[in-house]
Structure formats: structure tokens, C-alpha cells
């Protein structure tokens, strides 16, 4: 079930003061969900699964120059190739004991919060990485800005729960269902030390303002005031029956205090971000109201964006419920130490997010369907587990050198082009339909085919 974006954004806007300008990259889907964390576990398989939004070249090791070469971003403003991520939330079935990933999307806010001194707000320095929250947090410190910056909101668009303490914004999971999804909220520190792009704990080079976690002046130790970053991770808990303790993060936490978020810079043109900060002073949420952001938007590319780099070779729950969470992540209830695994599960390898094509086959790009009918008319099939490789194998088995996948699950074969179709590619993002058999690759689009060719069969 898709989120009603207008309702979600209206609810989100209600909690953001309108004193200063801000914009939202709303309804942003993950580009990939995998057990990688290029900040905390660089070059390795991560400890737990994350939902990652943003640039398509997210991978185990962060390199700004490489990330900036991403083909696309799930952020509509395409110069923002940054990555934003949080732990995947699962539903733990109380009867079967299995884990199913709960559908997730992000609202990503950029806010101007200069504080009483009206400090200049700066764009992120190139290469900045930062972390907010802690997966090992088991107690909430209400006086800590770092803890105040991590909260939850339970959404109910049909009833007013004002004054009911069970529905107030809180630091952990709610003891009841959220009829219109739950919002996990992370506010990042906005004061930078001006020197270090990262630190050993991924936090010390950053600080929260003096007055509050979400606004105020920067301390002398961290004098550079950056644009404030805040994101809401929407999780569709309403799609599953409520049972206490059954919302479980990928690292085993079923209480919610371990929520955390990561950011790594990928803005390819900082002048765009700085101009938006400096010039879009009257924007109140809608990024299209900022001319320089609007000029750099490409929603088609954002919607078609898929991961380019290797992911971890393991199931994360999208093809069926998991018997256990990936990695050493047993169910972790209460305030005690995290349960350990004995023996430790084996470490999986890395693998391409795309299903490899069979020998001899090549992907040529996205083409338009025929003007008078199908481009390929010799054979066809539909498959709820369709990938480009599945289609290529089907056509190869019948001896046809051309294959085209369309609408995510349809495959067509031919010896050549028919009905006015030609071997001329169109914009890659026109082939935006996710393959029914692999959520990490696209299989054509409306009247568009992902074209495959095997010259050895011609």
C-alpha cells in the first residue's frame, strides 16, 4: 500500500515551525536495502540491515568522488547524490516467529535555523559524514540533546489524540497500533568543528547548538553553522496486526531506543545548495518553491533510480519472511546487554544487485515500443519473478537474438524489429518499472522496453 503523500506531508509540516525557511524532499524511497554501513563498517559487511536513500553508487566504502558519479539519486534534486540511511524495521510474526521488512520511505528536511546570533548557514563541506543516535542505547536521557533529537510520532489521520499521553511524541515505540504509519525521526547536529570531515565515533566533529538540539547558536568548539538536516523515516506498521514488542529493528531492538541515522555528503555542486540556503528565504516546505532546486529536479530519474554497486549476498526479507535477522542480531528485549550468537553466522560475500545476464547477452538500453504494435512479435511470456536474465534465457531457448522486458513482468522476443520500432535508445529513466523478480533492477516501462541482444544468435 502506498502512503498518501499529501496527508503525510501535511502531518509533517504541522510539526515544523515556520519562523525560518526549509524544504522537504518528500516521499523519498530507499535506493537499496542491504547490510552495509560505509561510515561505521567501511569496506565490510555491516552489522545490520539499513534502508538507504539517495545516490545510486552507495557501497561498502565511501568515496565522495565515486559517489558523485552516481547515475541518479532517489532525491528529486539530482545534484544531491548524498546518502541518508537508517536501520530497517521488521515485523516479527508472533505465531511463526518470522521477520518481514516493513515498507519504508523518507521525508528529508533541510532547515535554516541560525539561532539568536543569526549565524551564517553553510552548505555541507565536501566529504562530510555524520551519525546521530546509537543502536546500543537502552536508556533515554531526557536532558541530552543527542537523545532529544531521536523521537517517534504515531499517525492517525482520522482521530485527534491531543492531550493523550499514550499518543505524545516519544523516544521509543508506542504501546498501540499507529493507524496511518509511524514516523521515526532523526535530527542531526548542525555545528561543525570546521576541520574534520569525520571522527572516530562519527559524532565528535559535530555538535548540537547551545540552546536546543534543533536550533540555536553554535558552540566555540564547533563554530561553523551548517544547514540543519532532519529526516523522518515512515514505516507502514499499520500494514501488520499490532502486537507488543513485534516491531523489531534489524539489529534486534524491539523497544525503539536504538534508532539512528547516517549521512554522507554527495552534493555534486555545492553552489546549488548554498544558493538555496541563501536565496530561498520564503520557502516553507515545498522544494519547488526554491527556483534553483526546481531547476535541478528530475523526478523521473529519482523514480527510476536503482543501485549500481555491489550489495551483500543475502536475503533481507523482500522475497519472503526471514527465519532470523541477517547477521548476529537476536531479538533484544529490555535494558540488558545485547544477546550474542554461538556460533557466529558466516559472513556473506558481495554480489551485484542486478541478476547477471546469461552468456552472450548484452543490455543495450531503453527503447520505445513500435508505433503500430509490439516491437518484438515472435514470442512472449509474463512472469511474476521476471528479471532481464529470465527474459534473455526465455528468448535464447527459442533461438531469438532480441529480447525486451516491459512493465516489470513482460518479456518479448524477436529476430528483428517490427511495427515501426527501431534500435534507437531513449532516456534511460523511461524504463522505470521495477522487475517483478528483482527490486534492484528495472524492466522496461509504459510503452518502453529494456532491450537485450545476443549477437551469437543472429
Closest of 231, 337, 268, 359 to residue 69, by C-alpha: 268
The residue ranges of every structural domain in the chain are 5-312, 362-457
Burial of 117 (0-12, 13-18, 19+ CB in 10 A): exposed
Nearest one of 163, 140, 144 to 152, comparing CA atoms: 140
**54 phi-psi bin (left φ>0, alpha ψ -120 to 50, beta other):** left
Q: What is the pLDDT along the chain (458 residues), one digit of tens a residue?
A: 333 444 444 444 434 444 689 999 999 999 999 999 999 999 999 999 999 999 999 999 999 999 999 999 999 999 999 999 999 999 999 999 999 999 999 999 999 999 999 999 999 999 999 999 999 999 999 999 999 999 999 999 999 999 999 999 999 999 999 999 999 999 999 999 999 999 999 999 999 999 999 999 999 999 999 999 999 999 999 999 999 999 999 999 999 999 999 999 999 999 999 999 999 999 999 999 999 999 999 999 999 999 999 999 999 999 999 999 999 999 999 999 999 999 999 999 999 999 999 999 999 999 999 999 999 999 999 999 999 999 999 999 999 999 999 999 999 999 999 999 999 999 999 999 999 999 999 999 999 999 999 999 98
Backbone angles phi, psi at 182, to 5 degrees: -115, 145
Closest CA to 39 of 90, 102, 89, 82: 82
Please state whether the peptide bond connecting residue 343 to the residue before it is cis, i.e. omega within 30 degrees of 0: yes
- Find out whether 83 and 264 touch, Cβ atoms under 8 Å: yes
Q: For residue 80, give the DSSP letter.
A: B
Closest CA to 400 of 342, 354, 361: 361
Residue 191 is given by DSSP the state: E
Q: How far apart are the C-alpha atoms of 256 and 240, rounded to whole Å?
A: 17
pTM score, whole prediction: 0.94
Collapsing DSSP to helix, strand or coil, 150 comes out as strand
Strand segments, DSSP code E, in 176-307 are: 182-187, 191-192, 206-207, 224-225, 228-235, 247-249, 260-264, 284-286
Quick check: 259 and 87 in contact, CB under 8 A? Answer: yes
Amino acid at each position: 500500500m502506498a502512503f498518501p503523500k499529501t496527508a503525510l506531508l501535511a502531518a509533517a509540516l504541522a510539526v515544523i515551525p515556520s519562523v525560518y525557511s526549509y524544504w522537504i524532499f518528500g516521499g523519498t524511497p530507499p535506493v537499496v536495502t542491504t547490510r552495509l554501513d560505509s561510515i561505521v563498517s567501511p569496506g565490510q559487511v555491516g552489522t545490520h540491515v539499513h534502508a538507504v536513500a539517495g545516490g545510486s553508487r552507495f557501497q561498502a566504502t565511501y568515496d565522495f568522488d565515486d559517489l558523485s558519479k552516481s547515475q541518479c539519486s532517489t532525491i528529486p534534486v539530482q545534484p544531491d547524490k548524498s546518502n541518508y540511511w537508517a536501520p530497517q524495521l521488521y515485523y516479527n510474526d508472533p505465531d511463526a516467529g518470522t521477520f518481514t521488512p516493513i515498507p519504508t520511505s523518507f521525508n528529508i528536511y533541510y532547515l535554516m535555523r541560525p539561532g539568536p546570533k543569526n549565524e551564517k548557514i553553510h552548505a555541507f563541506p565536501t566529504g562530510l559524514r555524520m551519525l546521530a543516535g546509537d543502536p546500543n542505547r537502552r536508556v533515554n536521557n531526557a536532558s541530552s540533546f543527542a537523545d532529544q533529537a531521536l523521537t517517534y510520532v504515531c499517525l492517525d489521520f482520522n482521530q485527534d489524540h491531543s492531550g493523550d499521553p499514550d499518543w505524545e511524541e516519544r523516544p521509543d515505540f508506542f504501546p498501540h497500533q499507529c493507524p496511518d504509519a509511524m514516523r521515526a525521526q532523526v535530527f542531526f547536529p548542525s555545528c561543525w568543528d570546521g576541520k574534520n570531515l569525520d571522527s572516530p565515533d562519527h559524532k565528535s566533529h559535530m555538535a548540537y547548538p547551545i540552546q536546543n538540539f534543533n536550533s540555536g547558536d553554535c558552540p566555540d568548539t564547533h563554530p561553523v553553522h551548517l544547514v540543519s538536516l532532519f529526516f523522518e523515516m515512515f514505516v507502514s506498521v499499520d500494514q501488520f496486526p499490532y502486537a507488543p514488542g513485534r516491531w523489531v529493528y534489524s539489529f534486534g531492538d524491539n523497544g525503539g531506543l536504538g534508532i539512528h541515522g547516517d549521512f554522507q555528503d554527495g552534493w555534486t555542486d555545492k553552489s546549488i545548495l548554498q544558493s538555496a540556503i541563501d536565496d530561498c528565504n520564503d520557502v516553507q516546505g515545498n522544494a519547488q518553491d526554491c527556483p534553483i532546486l526546481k531547476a535541478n529536479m528530475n523526478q523521473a530519474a529519482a523514480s527510476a533510480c536503482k543501485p549500481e554497486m555491489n550489495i551483500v549476498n543475502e536475503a533481507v526479507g523482500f522475497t519472503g519472511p526471514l527465519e532470523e535477522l541477517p547477521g548476529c542480531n537476536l531479538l533484544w528485549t529490555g535494558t540488558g546487554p545485547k544477546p550474542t550468537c554461538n556460533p557466529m553466522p558466516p559472513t556473506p560475500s558481495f554480489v551485484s544487485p542486478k541478476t547477471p545476464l546469461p552468456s552472450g547477452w548484452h543490455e543495450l538500453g531503453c527503447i520505445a515500443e513500435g508505433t503500430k504494435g509490439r516491437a518484438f512479435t515472435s514470442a512472449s511470456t509474463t512472469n511474476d519473478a521476471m528479471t532481464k536474465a529470465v527474459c534473455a534465457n526465455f528468448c535464447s531457448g527459442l533461438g531469438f537474438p532480441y529480447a525486451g522486458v516491459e512493465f516489470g513482468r513482460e518479456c518479448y522476443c524477436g529476430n528483428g524489429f517490427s511495427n515501426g520500432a527501431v534500435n534507437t535508445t531513449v532516456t534511460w529513466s523511461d524504463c522505470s518499472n521495477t522487475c517483478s523478480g528483482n527490486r534492484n533492477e528495472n524492466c522496461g516501462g509504459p510503452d518502453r522496453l529494456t532491450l537485450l541482444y545476443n549477437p551469437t544468435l543472429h
